[in-house]
Amino acid sequence: MSSKIRAAITGVNGWVPEYKLTNQELERMVDTNDEWIRTRTGIKERRILKGERKGTSEIVVNSIKGLLEKTNTDPNDVELLILATVTPDMVFPDTANTACDLLGMKNAFAYDINAACSGFIFALATGAKFIQSGMYKKVIVAGADKMSSIVDYTDRATCVIFGDGGGAVLLEPTESGHGIIDEIFKGDGSGRQYLHMKAGGSLKPPSHASIDAREHFVFQDGRPVFKAAVKGMTSTVEQLLKRNGLNKEDINWLIPHQANQRIINSVASILDFPVERVPVNIHKYGNTTGGTIPLCLWEWEEKFNKGDNIILTAFGGGFTWGSIYLKWAY
């Protein structure tokens, strides 16, 4: 028994919109084909949030509504919401605050974190620190993106990859030895040249010219991102194992950010980690950026056992990357 306060995930919920954008439909939109998409990315379909005035908050609110119900949590008891997203409803205010209002979480303060595809694990570690301080008892961490709002559906190299969706976890204190144990995070700002949105920020505010040049969409040079993702995820997992005196047999689940099936396969293969213990749902959701890891936790929740050793690993724009080691608490 450890007397150290740790943040345990005590509930998880995910939400994806109903509309399925299939590879076949993409074949009719851009010069691509189902075979190329499946063999290069592993993706068969992705979900798209349709409808007027529906932003990322729609995903966050639906995820958290279900989470509060599942965990029997009174919205008034939530003290903090941290949301990882690159597609906030608006540049400001933060979408986490909007979600608190829509959910009736009147006593919570809230803010967004932008670390692209690493956003959820960065946010999770941040939320955990508030719990570990002993000052907070109920923190929700969400990861959600409406990637369809920033994807150029004339650019075949990016539009096949991304989808909309997300999820949320409840963090509560425990002294049982379960919960978030360790993390290793890294960054390299020079990677921004390979993955970014050119306009819409303070560097290049929106203008007719920026719209005409299609600069309000994800720009990606896929190959360097692919290589850096494999290296970043494997190296931080290896360091985390070593630092905690663990070997791969001790890990029940390795949950990678769902960027590309080939990236996931490479990470598993380099680490010599059995694929049966690597949750994958990219074939049905694509890359939902901040949403992928909570969506995996949600879909695999039933398979987890109390005490399971789990590693979360992610890589994203920035570049940002890292891994978290936790012990499942229920």
Positions in the binding site for ligand COA (CB under 6 A): 32, 36-37, 40-41, 117, 156-157, 160, 220, 222-223, 225-226, 229, 259-260, 263, 287, 315-316
Q: Which residue lies nearest ligand COA, judged by its C-beta?
A: 222
CB 315 within 8 A of CB 117: yes
Catalytic site residue 216?
no
Cβ-in-10-Å burial (0-12, 13-18, 19+) of 186 comes to middle
Q: Tell me, what DSSP letter sits at residue 108?
A: -
Q: Is 257 a catalytic residue?
A: yes
In the complex, minimum distance from the CB of residue 129 to ligand COA, in angstroms, rounded to a whole number: 25
Report helix, strand or coil for 90. Answer: coil
Q: Is there a contact between 285 and 163 (Cβ–Cβ < 8 Å)?
A: yes
**Burial letters 187-209, b for 16+ CB under 10 A, else e:** eeeebeebbbeebbeeeeeeeee
Distance, in Å, from the CA atom of 304 to the CA atom of 311, rounded to the nearest integer, reads: 13
- State the nearest-atom distance from the C-beta of 195 to ligand COA, in Å: 6
Closer to ligand COA by CB, 226 or 325: give it.
226
Nearer to ligand COA, 80 or 314 (CB): 314
* Residue 12 Cβ vs ligand COA, minimum distance, rounded to whole Å: 22
Per the residue annotation, which of 62, 97, 114, 287 is the catalytic one?
287
Quick one: 160 or 324, whose CB is closer to ligand COA? 160
- Compute CA distances 301 → 61, 255, 260, 306, 314, whole Å: 20, 12, 22, 11, 19
Task: From the candidates 23, 257, 281, 309, give the one annotated as an active-site residue.
Answer: 257
Is 159 one of the catalytic residues? no
Beta carbons within 10 angstroms of residue 69's beta carbon: 11
CA angle 176, 128, 112 (to 5 degrees): 155
Distance, in Å, from the CA atom of 181 to the CA atom of 5, rounded to the nearest integer, reads 10
- Residue 142 CB partners (closer than 8 Å, separation 6+): 60, 63, 64, 81, 82, 83, 84, 96, 99, 123, 166, 167, 168, 169, 290, 294
Q: Which is nearer to ligand COA, 59 or 160 (CB)?
A: 160
Q: Which is nearer to ligand COA, 174 or 260 (CB)?
A: 260
What DSSP character marks residue 114? -
Residue 241 beta carbon to ligand COA: minimum distance, rounded to whole angstroms: 22
Q: How far is the CB of 6 from ligand COA (least distance, A)?
A: 28
Q: How far is the CB of 327 from ligand COA (least distance, A)?
A: 27
Q: Distance from CA of residue 29 to its chain's centroid?
A: 27
Catalytic residue selected from 97, 100, 117, 159 = 117
Nearer to ligand COA, 16 or 117 (CB): 117
Burial (Cβ within 10 Å: 0-12, 13-18, ≥19) of residue 90: exposed
Which residues are catalytic, by number? Answer: 117, 257, 287
